[in-house]
Structure 1
Amino acid sequence: MKKLLPVLLSGAALSLAALSAPATAGDRYGQRPPVVLSPDLSAPWVMQLGGQAAPRGGIVYRAKPQPQRARAVQQRSLFASPRQVTRVSAAAAPRVKPAPARQLDPKFLPQTVAYNGGEKPGTIIIDTNDRFLYFVLGDGQARRYGVGVGKEGHAWSGTERITRKAEWPDWRPPAEMIKRVREQEGRILPVHMKGGPENPLGARALYLGSTLYRIHGTNQPWTIGRAVSSGCIRMRNEDVTELYERAQIGAKVIVI
């Protein structure tokens, strides 16, 4: 027992010496660590210490680190103008084919004009060059409408009479027209299409003699004033409806 007492005393002395000795490089901390708080409430309150120095026993508020890419974008936006940021080069931008103009020239809207010709009231005169249809009223006046006419190679002239009238007519394109459109345009026309808003003949049709030509409406009113048809005379639906009420079966139609 007497032999163990010096050994215990010497061990206690060594422990006291270690507590009183200054911290060495091998210790984890050389001074009291600061408490680091994060402004992000989703993060833990106590953060692991970094390599920055802090006052003894102080509190360091560390901002939430931003990703490197987000900081770069934020810094660039401070100096770049909006035009520079959103600019797209002409080579990279997709090319958009301009839509066909769908404005109707006001001169093709219906109006009453002076007429000094020799045709009697009820006669229809179609000027394919100026794209106008005249319905003779009498008393030196005529009602004028804009029309679409036959395209190159399909224009015609002559005198016919109205042999039939139809409301919302069915469309049966002739076999020759079906073949021509398929070969030249690559479109397949139907053999028969029931009358309605999508029908190319529109709201009304006035059939001319025994020909395949008609004065009819259209589902493409922006083509009025142009040479676009296969020989028929097309009008706006509201205009052909008005003409339908005025013109009688047997009326003379002059195409010039």
Structure 2
Amino acid sequence: MKTLSVAAVCLAFATAYPVSAATKPAIDPNIMKLQVMLDRLGFTPGVIDGHKGRSLTMALKGFQTARDVPASGETDAATGQLLDAYKTLPAIIDVTLTPEDVAGPFVGPIPRDPAKEAKLPAMGYADAMEALAERYHTTPATLTALNGPTLSLVAGATIKVPNVRPAASAYPESFKPEWRATLAQLSVSSDQPKAAKIVVDKSDGVLRVYDEGDKLIAQFPATMGSKHDPLPIGNWKIQGTSYLPIYNYNPKLFWDAKAGETKQTLKPGPNSPVGVVWMDLNKEHYGIHGTPTPETIGRTESHGCIRLTNWDAARLSMMVKPGTPAVFQP
């Protein structure tokens, strides 16, 4: 198992479609159930929030393509039949918080300034709410909506969460304990399929995973490139994976770096600019990685790299290996 530091041109820099909590519609339990099912089946919608959107449409299309039915992006009759086996799966479950769930350590608000971030003991979760939101593939706002504004995150409290806990947790012994703990924290099941290749499709905004028979086996929403740092179209390959990487910030690699910024070394953690895992490509400074802001996937631009939610990036890291082809297409 690799533990490396990374230096990359991969920060997000603009939220394109901000939506205030006050204007969001109420959670639709049927939509949340669909999101939970697709997440469990490997065709993830990104954050699970009970709302329709492009990421859910693309997740449905991916699932439909993999199951050889028309890719309508809607829950039509054919898709309903495919999902019928999961109809008894509860979308929302009750969990009782343990002392470990709320103990931390938590680092407080993340400053989002490299010099200040470098002073933190780790790029860990700000608080228990953020940690629990990532564990259940959702957002703090969604947890609050599910539980009410008086939600109290204390040991012994029972809260409602999306039902995404992993089906299996027999993580390889070759993984260091802290990485196994991270996979469990992110609700990543250990029974992942193996990738023969991945395809990053800029026009659709997704990363697709194929097996040896060229069958689509998984799909994740992704943020990729920008006008300043376009996605490097072409045929690449995974060179290796760094779990919980140290991040080396170099302002010379960023066109939008602030005057006076200097090189900084950021410690590992889920709030690292590259999230919890980095899959290195055979193109210098480029990789596939996680993000500290999962709600922005598909809503921001990046500095050329491919960003996934932390849980999707961790899941993908269990599918690929050194030498896995990575095709980047317009």
Equivalent positions of 1:224-235 (< 5 A) are: 224-235=297-308
Q: Which residue of 1 aligns with 2:210?
A: 136
Amino acid at match of 2:229: H
How far apart are 1:109 and its partner, in Å? 5.3
Deviation string, structure 1 residues 171-216 (Cα, Å, up to 9, x no partner): 1133423563215xxx947522111122111111100014211100
Amino acid at match of 1:101: V
Determine the C-alpha separation between the residues in 2 that align with 1:108 and 1:168.
29
1:101 corresponds to 2:174? no
Q: 1:240 to 1:219 in 2, by over 3 A?
A: same
How far apart are 1:130 and its partner, in Å? 1.3
TM-score, normalised to structure 2, is 0.41
The 8 Å contact of residues 127 and 133 in structure 1, kept in 2 or not, is answered as: yes
Amino acid at match of 2:227: E
Match for residue 167 of structure 1 among 236, 243, 248: 243
Match for residue 114 of structure 1 among 52, 65, 68: 65
Q: 1:112 to 1:166 in 2, by over 3 A?
A: farther
Residue aligned with 1:240, SS: helix
Q: 1:177 to 1:121 in 2, by over 3 A?
A: closer
Determine the C-alpha separation between the residues in 1 that align with 2:280 and 2:307.
12
The 8 Å contact of residues 113 and 144 in structure 1, kept in 2 or not, is answered as: no
Residue aligned with 2:207, SS: strand
Q: Which residue of 1 aligns with 2:323?
A: 250
Q: Which residue of 1 aligns with 2:173?
A: none
Q: Which residue of 2 aligns with 1:70?
A: none
The 8 Å contact of residues 123 and 136 in structure 1, kept in 2 or not, is answered as: yes
The 8 Å contact of residues 287 and 306 in structure 2, kept in 1 or not, is answered as: yes
How far apart are 1:128 and its partner, in Å? 1.2
Q: Which residue of 2 aligns with 1:223?
A: 296
Q: Which residue of 2 aligns with 1:146?
A: 221
How far apart are 1:222 and its partner, in Å? 1.5
Higher relative contact order (CA 8 A, sep 6+): 2
Amino acid at match of 1:254: V
Determine the C-alpha separation between the residues in 1 that align with 2:64 and 2:318.
19
Amino acid at match of 2:206: F
Q: After the TM superposition, which segments of 4 or more aligned residues of structure 1 sit over 6 Å from their partners?
A: none
Q: Which runs of 5+ in 1 are unaligned?
A: 1-98
Q: Which residue of 2 aligns with 1:176?
A: 252
Q: 1:101 to 1:138 in 2, by over 3 A?
A: farther
Determine the C-alpha separation between the residues in 2 that align with 1:121 and 1:219.
25
Amino acid at match of 1:150: G
How many aligned positions are there?
152
Determine the C-alpha separation between the residues in 2 that align with 1:126 and 1:160.
11
The 8 Å contact of residues 122 and 248 in structure 1, kept in 2 or not, is answered as: no
Determine the C-alpha separation between the residues in 2 that align with 1:232 and 1:224.
12
How far apart are 1:129 and its partner, in Å? 1.8
Deviates more, 1:174-183 or 1:209-218: 174-183
The 8 Å contact of residues 204 and 217 in structure 1, kept in 2 or not, is answered as: yes
Q: Which residue of 2 aligns with 1:54?
A: none
Backbone CA RMSD of aligned residues: 2.9
Determine the C-alpha separation between the residues in 1 that align with 2:272 and 2:263.
11
Q: 1:227 to 1:158 in 2, by over 3 A?
A: farther
1:236 corresponds to 2:309? yes
Q: 1:189 to 1:101 in 2, by over 3 A?
A: farther
Higher Cα radius of gyration:
1
Determine the C-alpha separation between the residues in 2 that align with 1:189 and 1:231.
21
Determine the C-alpha separation between the residues in 2 that align with 1:130 and 1:141.
15
The 8 Å contact of residues 249 and 264 in structure 2, kept in 1 or not, is answered as: yes
Residue aligned with 1:114, SS: helix
The 8 Å contact of residues 136 and 142 in structure 1, kept in 2 or not, is answered as: yes
